[in-house]
Structure 1
Amino acid sequence: MTLKYLLRKEFTQIRRNSFLSRLIVVFPIIIMCAMPWVMNMEVKNIVVDVVDNDRSTQSQRLVHEIEANRYFIFHGQQPTYVAALNNIEHSEADIAVIIPQHYSRDLTLGHMPQVLIAANAVNGTKGSIGSVYLSQIVTANAVPSAAAVQSKVSTLFLYNKHLNFKLFMIPALFAIVMMLMTGFLPTLNIVSEKEAGTIEQINVTPVNRWTFILAKLVPYWIIAFFTITVCLLLAWIVYGITPVGNIALIYLLAMLLALFFSSFGLIISNYSDTMQQAIFVMWFFVVILLLLSGLFTPTRSMPSAAYLTTYINPVSYFIEAMRTVFIRGGSFSSIQHQILALLGIGLFMGGWAVLSYKKNH
């Protein structure tokens, strides 16, 4: 019965805070409607300068192929390499392609002409991927047999047939929404009661800390279910994307991640004296968990030391399992490892949240 009244108190506080109620509804809507359009890792609009020192029919064909490619913005032909490099240094161009003299003659004799590609590496991703795009065009133009072989190769995309990047990002956005909704809100809960002085009224009651912490956690688990439902509905209504696997597994994963973040938020709240302190500490850990989770880059691409952190990073397990269920249609056995890891980490953090709460604040 004590838990019942404590839960009523928590929901009453949430309901009376009009801003918090609006945030719970509006935040997942904005994230799901805006972020899939802007969080696109595909590199486009690469500004290219071309220096054609050969001025032959074949070199001009290469120039026109670059100009017609949808990934590039053709900035024009420059008279010299120095002029093209000057445009790169002034950020007027991203890449310069220098076609050498005797380009056509070398191709006729069966030689491979040396085409120089100079890229602005300030933006490393744009420079490196843009150089790869251009290298493929140059190679295909110089070696027609390679292009002919490539045209005969048939590629079958099993899980994302249309290479829709939104299908890859939406399951990961669930993690961001869950992280912020079930992480930051509990972080501010106990601290706000400390600053308001209402925590003292709880401290003088016979309510044990297990009941008190559970009453703090349950509302955010319910918020997690509401949030994930909104995200699934928006993914279906706005983008026409639905999970391939069992939707119950998605809710199970959301529950386990909510258990971790709500417990983690309460731990920080227990050790913090002010809301500012709690926010900064939570933000510090959230950024680390997010960047090392594999949300933006594959975890296997990380250095060995950084990759080891994924074994204790619940966000990494969540994203991997969510993509397995959502995109590949994986079953419970496919994500059993991630579920057990999330459950273990969540229970550990939940126990820590209880033990770290002291009624003598």
Structure 2
Amino acid sequence: MRIIRYIIQKEFKQIFRDKGMLRLIFILPIFQLLVLSNAATFDVKNIKVAIVDHSHSMQSRALIEKFQTNSYFAETKLLNSSNEGIEYINKGKTDAVIEIPKQFEKQLTNENKTSIQVLINAIDGATAGVQNVYIAQIVQQYNQNILVENQSLTGNKNLSRIEVIPSFWYNNTLNYKTFMVPGILVLLVTMLTLFLSSMNIVREKELGTLEQINVTPIKKHQFIIGKLFPFWVLGLVILTIGLLIAKLVFNVPMLGNIFLVYLFTAIYLLLILGIGLFISNHTETQQQAMFIAWFFMVIFILMSGLFTPIESMPKWAQNITLFNPIRYFVEFIRMVLLKGAGLQEVLINLSIITAFAITINGLAVWSYRKTN
């Protein structure tokens, strides 16, 4: 135990002696959390729309006004022809083109129905889908106004109407930051501990000190615990700072047991440090370790369910996510913080991460070459 304590003290001294490392560990994650939480938004705003009005009627002008006064549409440009609208969308000058037919008002008056054409730039399919919903909602609202006007003119009080009253649980303001901040915090904790642990032992290889340590009486488990324990502590410190920022800056609700979050994180960090140790055992330079760690991080991030729902992925991709540790942490922290889930609700996630941690650390320790 005394030897492990000396190694831990040596590692902490080495970390705090390196001013650049301190900035990397403490300042950079805070900056990333503040910036990414504001940048990673699912809201689609400042939509540019062009309208080709062939009708030039009172009804068409009323519909155009709906778009001009909507806060999601930053620019509503009136064009003269369909070809001009196509040119605008081809050159990227607009996100959508709405074409109102010449018989718009006549068809509404005589036939009680009409149609408009909507062209949407769908290079970004997700954004295009949201834009289509916004446009459809405005048209639906306009249509509802017409029904109300017709009802008042005809005196018919028995028109059928269905009113939907939504109730949004766990995020009643639909604030995307409430959804994103916990997940981004998971990514930052993972990236920091994985990169630092994967490069730590490799650095000893590059300096030539690892060979000297290998001929000392220090046991394998003593060396590994002493080298990785400081990063385990730093991971918990970063989590604490991130939770404080999430609460004080972004007002993320924390409905569940915070000690349960620390319990899960403590086990999760053992898994990530084990992956870092395994990488360092099979690389010779810090550049190699960084490249391999980043390779796995990209896969972990994109298949974690943070940015895209896992349920929307192909079946084979969903099966791959079963081996993604970030997936289980993202699910866990959202369930505990936002839904107030208890141990019973997150026991599966905790059990899987524990099994992963035991397996990976077993492989990492076994693959580390030490003669005594």
Does the alignment reach a TM-score above 0.5?
A: yes
User: Which of residues 313, 323, 332 is equivalent to 2:334?
Assistant: 323
User: Which of residues 349, 366, 369 is equivalent to 1:338?
Assistant: 349
Aligned to 1:259: 270
- Call closer, same or farther: CA 1:110–1:217 in 2, change over 3 Å: farther
Q: Kindly state the Cα deviation for residue 113 of structure 1 after the two structures are TM-superposed.
A: 1.6
Aligned to 2:130: 129
User: Which of residues 162, 165, 187 is equivalent to 1:154?
Assistant: 165
User: Is residue 17 from structure 1 mapped to residue 25 from structure 2 by the alignment?
Assistant: no
The one-character-per-residue Cα deviations of 1:297-350 (angstroms, maximum 9, x if unpaired) are 111010111111121111000000100001111111111111111111111111
Aligned to 1:195: 206
Q: Is the 8 A contact 1:257 1:315 kept in 2?
A: no
Aligned to 2:38: 37
User: Is residue 179 from structure 1 mapped to residue 198 from structure 2 by the alignment?
Assistant: no
Q: Tell me which amino acid in the other structure corresponds to 1:327.
A: L
The one-character-per-residue Cα deviations of 1:155-183 (angstroms, maximum 9, x if unpaired) are 11121111111111111011111111111
Q: Is the 8 A contact 1:182 1:220 kept in 2?
A: yes
d(CA) in 1 for partners of 2:242, 2:160: 43
Q: Kindly state the Cα deviation for residue 198 of structure 1 after the two structures are TM-superposed.
A: 0.7
d(CA) in 2 for partners of 1:192, 1:216: 12
5 Å matches for 1:261-340?
Answer: 261-340=272-351
Structure 2 counterpart SS, 1:312: coil
> Which range is displaced more, 126-135 or 329-338?
126-135
User: Is residue 205 from structure 1 mapped to residue 206 from structure 2 by the alignment?
Assistant: no
Aligned to 2:94: 93
Aligned to 1:28: 29
Q: TM-score, normalised by structure 1?
A: 0.95
Q: Is the 8 A contact 2:305 2:327 kept in 1?
A: yes
Q: Kindly state the Cα deviation for residue 241 of structure 1 after the two structures are TM-superposed.
A: 2.7
d(CA) in 1 for partners of 2:200, 2:294: 15
d(CA) in 1 for partners of 2:121, 2:61: 24
Q: Kindly state the Cα deviation for residue 187 of structure 1 after the two structures are TM-superposed.
A: 0.8
> Which range is displaced more, 55-64 or 251-260?
251-260
The one-character-per-residue Cα deviations of 1:68-95 (angstroms, maximum 9, x if unpaired) are 1111123311001110111111111010
Q: Tell me which amino acid in the other structure corresponds to 2:331.
A: E
Q: Is the 8 A contact 1:244 1:325 kept in 2?
A: yes
- Call closer, same or farther: CA 1:234–1:104 in 2, change over 3 Å: same
Aligned to 2:154: none
> Which range is displaced more, 329-338 or 206-215?
206-215
User: Is residue 108 from structure 1 mapped to residue 90 from structure 2 by the alignment?
Assistant: no
Structure 2 counterpart SS, 1:206: coil
Q: Tell me which amino acid in the other structure corresponds to 1:157.
A: F
Q: Kindly state the Cα deviation for residue 31 of structure 1 after the two structures are TM-superposed.
A: 2.1
Q: Kindly state the Cα deviation for residue 123 of structure 1 after the two structures are TM-superposed.
A: 2.3
User: Which of residues 221, 240, 265 is equivalent to 2:232?
Assistant: 221
d(CA) in 1 for partners of 2:145, 2:317: 43
User: Is residue 80 from structure 1 mapped to residue 91 from structure 2 by the alignment?
Assistant: no
d(CA) in 1 for partners of 2:71, 2:267: 43
Q: Is the 8 A contact 1:112 1:142 kept in 2?
A: no
Aligned to 2:259: 248
Structure 2 counterpart SS, 1:333: coil
d(CA) in 1 for partners of 2:273, 2:90: 48
Q: Tell me which amino acid in the other structure corresponds to 2:69.
A: A
d(CA) in 2 for partners of 1:293, 1:240: 24
Q: Is the 8 A contact 2:303 2:321 kept in 1?
A: yes
d(CA) in 1 for partners of 2:307, 2:220: 39
d(CA) in 1 for partners of 2:356, 2:67: 51
The one-character-per-residue Cα deviations of 1:82-115 (angstroms, maximum 9, x if unpaired) are 1011111111101000111211122223443221
d(CA) in 1 for partners of 2:160, 2:132: 22
Segments of structure 2 that go 5 or more residues without pairing to the other structure are: 149-158
Q: Tell me which amino acid in the other structure corresponds to 2:183.
A: A
d(CA) in 2 for partners of 1:18, 1:286: 25
Q: Is the 8 A contact 2:52 2:78 kept in 1?
A: yes
Q: Is the 8 A contact 2:37 2:181 kept in 1?
A: yes
d(CA) in 2 for partners of 1:74, 1:53: 20
Q: Is the 8 A contact 1:66 1:74 kept in 2?
A: no
User: Is residue 2 from structure 1 mapped to residue 3 from structure 2 by the alignment?
Assistant: yes
Q: Is the 8 A contact 2:178 2:253 kept in 1?
A: no
Q: RMSD in angstroms over aligned alpha carbons? A: 1.8
d(CA) in 2 for partners of 1:315, 1:306: 15
Segments of structure 1 that go 5 or more residues without pairing to the other structure are: none
- For this pair of structures, how many residues does the alignment match? 360
